[in-house]
Amino acid sequence: MTELYSRISKDNAAVILVDHQTGLISGLVRDYGVDEFKNNVLALANTAKFFNLPVILSTSFENGPNGPLMQELVDLFPNAPKISRPGQINAWDNEDFVKAIEATGKKQLIIAGVVTDVCVAFPALSALKAGYEAFVVTDASGTFSQQVANAALMRMAHAGAQLMNWFSVASELQRDWRNDSEGFGALLASQLPGYQNVIGSYMGAQSDLGEQNN
Active-site residues, by number, are: 119
Q: Name which of 50, 11, 48, 5 is nearest 140 in CA terms.
A: 48
Q: How many CA atoms does the CB half-sphere of 113 hold within 13 Å?
A: 29
Backbone phi, then psi, for 108, in 5-degree steps?
A: -105, 115
CA angle 36, 38, 43 (to 5 degrees): 95
Q: Name which of 135, 112, 136, 139 is nearest 32 in CA terms.
A: 139
